[in-house]
Structure 1
């Protein structure tokens, strides 16, 4: 759990590296099949020529050039400019490619099969790439024979070979698709952390874990989500319609939901801006996206921000929703605590988030996550609602009693004069 931000950055980085590797593999192998891939223009202003399918002599020449330079190190290959939209065309060129020898052999087999009225064999038999591996059957070995140690796998074994360096050219549609991938992985990882924390509180209810442990992992989880949220927007290439100046990172869950339900939003006359900003109410979304994005919690917090405006008129239609009622009933107390403890070391992650929300008039993901954690804790302790409170009261009384028993004229409270030398 303590590597949430690092894991998310690594996931996105791996995604980009894998995309570039696939592009490099497609470029090299489609070149071998006669598909021409453009090199980047010498100047930044010039646009690369589009990739095309070669025919005739040009195709043969490109294939011969590819074979001649295949033995060279990949670094010696020129760099190619590839649009993401070219992936399918390059893959099709590879799949459709038929070597001359295979075509001749195929014609002969077709002719022979036709003369015997048989179904022709497929042109190319797929070979199991793992057929060369030695498979150990431990059940065939005697009890006196120890199984051999597994072969260590290097991470390079899982990487594509025979690549050429490429420059990916993305359309606005490609950028938008890439924009939502890290958001989705971030939300999934936040959901995993939430499940882990809830398991801790379940263990406390059953007497398997200590209260101090559950409290620490809850606060730590909120801080980790806070850091991961801060780092989320840094590596993302944004579509033009979602500039960072207008859509900060805390808007990402709402944007994700809106894009996945855009048709219904438009039908209900809900525009993106009103969906994201504090408002008196939002249409109910009973779906997995809403659960993943903590949207009911976001909605209750957005309503609270909107309600705090002097000109607000309460026309909310969410009073019948359980999550909304629970959050709204707790917010006055949490806001009061956050104001009173703003400068205190004892302020926890949940009250700190509520304080930040009213101060900045924004709803960070880590604030919504903290509120969701509070609801989860209440749900886990539903059968023993006073257990944690009684334990804290007992601990506090013990510590106060110990403090009162101390003599202020004794150490560590007394000031002992330093002994002067000579």
Structure 2
């Protein structure tokens, strides 16, 4: 039996969220500029938007850059920065522009995935079996509201994807040409379903995201209270990932306890889990922007 934990298959919730929101920011910035909209962008801040990395954290960052994700703005150094307050005005300028601009389905999926994941992490953290911190949830919901409003503004312009019967016809033709196929090639793992978001778009897959064009790398500047909200969201995401790893390891050992089989798998999975957590710690320190009152010296990962 294969090891159920694999470093190349474990996707960081917060890393994916950062990639998605970075691409959204880059796309909005590029398209709104084409529409004549001027933002409060600051180029002089871009050089300091990314922290300098050393040792294993630097190596891990390079590996993450090769891992894929949304193209263009995900991992590259930002050329300039914009503020969260720019999102809605940029989306509005795009929606009002004539002739109408076609918004790709993949961008809508990034919006949906980022909003859904942030809400999911928040719901898990605030569930009855977890001890919720005594803090105002409004700061955590602020960026979700911004993303949701921008998404709603652009929704009428989102291009329609091929309908289900068209996809099935194309898939049938491909099957006739290539009779031997891996039955699992078409599966999408851990993708947020968006049929309710785009009822006319057919089956949404990761291919729609891969088709997105490259955009100018843009950094998102947050106010201090927004930085703190992002900081705790990153920590909550990290804790949820740890919970998922623990759940997997528990299942493996319970199977061994009940059957007496797969001791090697249980052992290897446990060792893999330990290494995954160590890598996740290094990655978290690379991804987060720390609030002033939570310096790394006093609050290490």
Name the larger-Rg structure.
1
Q: Which range, TM-score by smaller chain?
A: 0.3 to 0.5
TM-score (norm 2): 0.48
Q: Bigger relative contact order, structure 1 or 2, given CA contacts below 8 A and separation 6+?
A: 2
TM-score (norm 1): 0.36
